Amino acid sequence: MLETSARLLALLGLLQSSAGWTGTDLATRLDVSERTVRNDMTKLRELGYPVESVRGPGGRYRLGTGGKLPPLLLDDEEAVAVAVGLRAATGIAGVAETSSRALAKLDQVLPDHLRRKLAAVVDAMEAGPVNTDSNVPDPDVDAGTLQTLATAIRDHQGVRADYRDEPVEVEPYRLISWQRRWYLVARNPLTDAWLPLRVDWLRLKVPGGRPFRPADPGFDLTEFVVREVARTGWAVHARLVIAAPADEVISRINPAVGTVEPIAADRSVLVTGGDSVEVVAVWIGMLGLDFTVESPPELRDHLDILAKRYAAAITPPG
């Protein structure tokens, strides 16, 4: 017996292949009871499909106007691109299950030769570990939250939410995925400040905010997220004094890692962060320069543990 989602797809296929089916015929085709067929018809209607019922001794089910699915016209390269995108998305927290379902449905509507090519691509791909640079689990983001925010962006509708337990009301402009995190670029209409808000830290409120007239930010929103997250968007923030000129530090870091300020000819301040003190310690070690930790104290404590561990590792056995 087919699972519910697969059965609904099969049921849609049957309804599109004929002008009408009796409940008995559909139950026989799907190997289910007539009661299950009736329940499935209700689910299809809830999903927006115009399923019509003709009552009486010759009663039948049929799809009404607008119920036909148009053919999915993809060439070979487009089909591969869609498959690669969906397969990659199965490794993103919060949308993995949804992407897997979409791949299964895509398989149902492609012609046979493209279906075989798509299957080959999907079977050949494998997602590597997504947490290779952090000891903190990737946050789950509800697909419904992304949809709500995307709709608000499209309709120029304000968003009300709790952000890290603080109430906010903002104008949403763009959703950006970066470093396995989702960010909402938004504007605070009261202060005219632009904000990169982590979506997993948002708790949306209903009803939403007020409609707004979009403003021109005057800068690239993706670059803004990368820059601002380095300054304010990490779970752990660190301030370090580096024993090197600012130009040298800048040449050794990705702009997304942090911001650098000169304080002397041979010294500079690096403001950086990460998901945990362990991650920050790894990044600092890769800098290859002497440094002093100004904050946070937890980072100093962790580096002290690492110093003792590394010293013990190079001490000859006694």
DSSP annotation of 199 reads G
- Residue 51 confidence (pLDDT): 83
Q: pTM of the prediction?
A: 0.55
Number of domains forming the structure of the chain: 4
- My answer on whether 161 and 214 are in the same domain is yes
Q: Give the C-alpha separation, 224 to 38, whole Å.
A: 52
Residue 71 inside a domain? The answer is no
Residue 180 inside a domain? The answer is yes
How many residues can be counted in the chain? 318
Q: Are strands 236-242 and 267-274 parallel, antiparallel or unpaired?
A: antiparallel
Most confident of 37-41, 108-112, 127-131, 272-276: 37-41
Domain span at 163: 143-225
Give residue-wise pLDDT tens across range 178-217: 766 788 999 999 999 999 998 989 999 999 899 999 999 9
Which of helix, strand or coil describes residue 8?
Answer: helix
Counting residues of the chain whose pLDDT is more than 90, the rounded percentage is 31
- My answer on whether 105 and 158 are in the same domain is no
Residue 137 inside a domain? The answer is no
- My answer on whether 115 and 154 are in the same domain is no
* Cis bond before residue 189 (omega within 30° of 0): no
What Cα–Cα distance (Å) separates residue 67 from each residue in 64, 70, 111? 6, 9, 20
Q: Give the C-alpha separation, 22 to 267, whole Å.
A: 81
- My answer on whether 248 and 279 are in the same domain is yes
CATH number of the domain at 297, please. Answer: 3.30.70.250
Triad 70, 106, 74: Cα angle to 5°: 60
- My answer on whether 240 and 306 are in the same domain is yes
Q: Give the C-alpha separation, 131 to 29, whole Å.
A: 45
Band (pLDDT 50/70/90 cuts) for residue 13 is confident
- Residue 301 confidence (pLDDT): 96
Helices 4-17 & 23-30 angle (0-180, nearest 10): 130
| 133 has a pLDDT exceeding 50 | yes
